[in-house]
Amino acid sequence: MPKLRKLLVSRNTQASPTLSDVFSRLDCELNELQSAVQTPKARAAALATVDQDIDAAKRLILSVLTRRNTLAPISILPAEVLSRIFHFTAFSDRFYSTRCWVHVTHVCRRWRQIALDDSTLWTQFTDSPRNKDWISERLARSRNAPLVLSLDGWAVKDTLSLFTPHISHTRELMLFDLSCHPEIVQEISIQKAPILEYLKFRELGSLPMDNEHIGHLFFKGTLPKLRILELSTVFPWSLFPCGQLTELKVILDEEVSAATSKDSQHDDLNQLIGLLVASPSLEDLTLQGCLPTMLGSKSSDGQTIHLPRLSQLCLGGSSSRVTNLFKMLRLSPSTRLRLYCMSEDSATDNDYPILPILSEHFNDATHVKFRTFELDLHRLHGVIEIMASTSLPMSPIPRSRHILAGDPELRLSFYRVSDFNRLDILRRACNVLFLSKLDFFSISFHNPNQVINWSEIFQHCTEVTTVQVDGCGTIGLLEALTPPNLADTAVRGKPGKSKRGGDNGRGAQAEAPDDSDSHAPAPVHVPIFPKLMTLRLNSLDFNDVVPGSGVLFDLVLNVVQRRKVNETPLTTLRIEQCDIRVKQADALEKLVCDFQWDHHEGNHNDKSGNLEDHHSYYGSEFDDDGDDYSDSSDPGVW
């Protein structure tokens, strides 16, 4: 068998013999070995020798595979570049899974060593690991690099205890529903966290807030680098860290009522105002369900909170609470606003006092000119949502129902609002906002029984070029887009001439003398959005009856035809998820240069127009098993 080892060495260092030569020599070696081994002692010695040869052969194969890997183009990349690539793989999703990215450590020896040498690759524990051995291994590989920990009550106590000694070098800490593990909270509270930057509490249940250790650790100055704080439970305002926060989010599932919090420090206005005044570096502020009632408080009168760096503000709660806090803030004109106002069942206009405050805010920001406006009217829950942006959508005709591609500058929502108040809110909101430069307009409205005077509300929006409507409640808007018949306009524009059978019997008035001011010509209907070029229709039934216009198809046809006659033609018409017959679609296609239809016919089956949707699914699976490398030091990965 020593000859076998020499043969393997020569296979690697000398000219490579053919496979037949190798097998022939091995057969000869085997025959010689069998004839030479006659006693048990000799057989045991031969087995030991063969085992050594097998180990040598395995090492030789691994050496050859390693040599082969060095010739691959990717092996030219420096270790720093490969480590960076591993980072992109590992942290492509915040809630990544270690089971996914750790496969890169099983490709080859070099990749594995690079991954093990980079301690920052093993610092994130946001995938809720359960295997204690694997957690210990990852903590060992991370060494003292800053950690990102997500601890929840689903884990057992022994598993959670593995993390508590590492709080001292934790950069981000998220605690979810640890009320069932108060001893773990106690262990965390006695640790120091000098590098903690992000702290999040959620659903802590009956966690004892009066615990001095918890207050000292999280809120009494032992967190010099804390910048981001997120809560979903009520804390005393005085426990919040001041002066260093850049992001503060407090989101409660239910609003703290005035009755239960009247004498509680949770709802103390002075403490909340003091916190915000002492945090001028805030860039993101969210307060939902935790706004103070401010009833009977005189100390806050005239108080001003300056937040010059705030890029996004989100306030949610009762309409009066949102308004009272918002009017105390002094913000940059570029701050994105998210205001969620809950109706307080008031029969007066004071139910939505935020509108005049918004008017003052935008009057101070005269350069804010909204280009995109989106309106959703939800009948079921009495909701009205308004979104406005100074930018235009990425696509001239967005694929989704919503026009806005990014975050709008303003999102204003009202809840539990009556139909009457919704109309008043819409009218007032449009007067408050700067819509004279509006270009894109979108509306979703599914209540055909509520009449809205769209011409009155949007008469000043003369720059609109694109409109998309969704729902049967938008029929009135389509009527407002229809220019009058030119023949009717010509007749009514000439005194002394009568249009037979028209003007609802007002022909006699048209025959009055020319110098009679009391019998002036009837007003001519002027359509809104005179520069309209693109119209998108969604979720409509073209066979619905429209009083005075036949069916909806006739109304849309009039819009297209009359705008063409009036030399303000539509250049693009897009129809999606509408009940429309093929013949109706064909008629519209002949009148518009760019006609787009998804060929959805709803409940109307027309054999001549049935089109099947063809979906292609592309996928590929790759299995690179040329040089898989793994070892048993990755417990619990598989």
Specify the 3-state DSSP secondary structure of 624.
Answer: coil
Same domain, 432 and 474: yes
> Structural domain of residue 97, as residue ranges?
76-121
Same domain, 35 and 108: no
Same domain, 20 and 89: no
Backbone angles phi, psi at 231, to 5 degrees: -135, 150
Same domain, 380 and 416: yes
Q: What predicted TM-score, i.e. pTM, was given to this entire model?
A: 0.74
Residue 49: the pLDDT is 81
Classify residue 147: in a domain, yes or no.
no
Residue 18: the pLDDT is 57
Same domain, 417 and 391: yes
Residue 622: the pLDDT is 28
Counted residue by residue, the chain has a size of 638
- Helix crossing, 2-13 with 19-36: angle to 10°? 170
User: How many domains does the chain fold into?
Assistant: 3
Residue 549: the pLDDT is 79
475-509 as b/e, with b when 16 or more CB fall inside 10 Å?
bbbbbbbbbebeeeeebbeebeeeeeebbeeeeeb
Same domain, 584 and 475: yes
Q: Give me the residues paired with residue 198 across strands.
A: 172, 228
Classify residue 204: in a domain, yes or no.
no
Same domain, 24 and 110: no
Same domain, 421 and 440: yes
Same domain, 45 and 90: no
Going 351 to 356 to 361 to 366, the CA torsion angle's sign is: positive
Beta strands in 74-193 (DSSP E): 124-125, 147-152, 170-176
The encoded tokens of residue 388 equal 């406005």
Same domain, 539 and 600: yes
Classify residue 31: in a domain, yes or no.
yes
Single out the residue of 331, 348, 430, 438 nearest to residue 384, CA to CA: 430
Classify residue 631: in a domain, yes or no.
no
Single out the residue of 327, 383, 379, 392 nearest to residue 353, CA to CA: 327
Classify residue 448: in a domain, yes or no.
yes
Q: Which residues contact 606 (CB under 8 A, 6 or more apart)?
A: 581, 582, 583
Neighbours of 434 (CB within 10 A): 16
Classify residue 638: in a domain, yes or no.
no
Classify residue 269: in a domain, yes or no.
no
Classify residue 350: in a domain, yes or no.
no
Residue 614: the pLDDT is 33
Residue 560: the pLDDT is 93
Same domain, 472 and 529: yes
Residue 488: the pLDDT is 52
Residue 130: the pLDDT is 76
Mean pLDDT, consecutive 10-residue stretches, the chain (638 aa), reads 51 52 70 70 80 84 81 86 89 58 84 93 82 91 93 86 92 87 80 89 56 48 83 74 87 73 52 85 92 58 84 93 91 90 66 81 73 85 87 64 63 85 84 87 87 87 92 91 67 44 34 45 67 93 88 93 90 93 93 91 50 33 36 40
Same domain, 65 and 96: no
Residue 306: the pLDDT is 93
Q: Which residues contact 96 (CB under 8 A, 6 or more apart)?
A: 90, 124, 126, 127
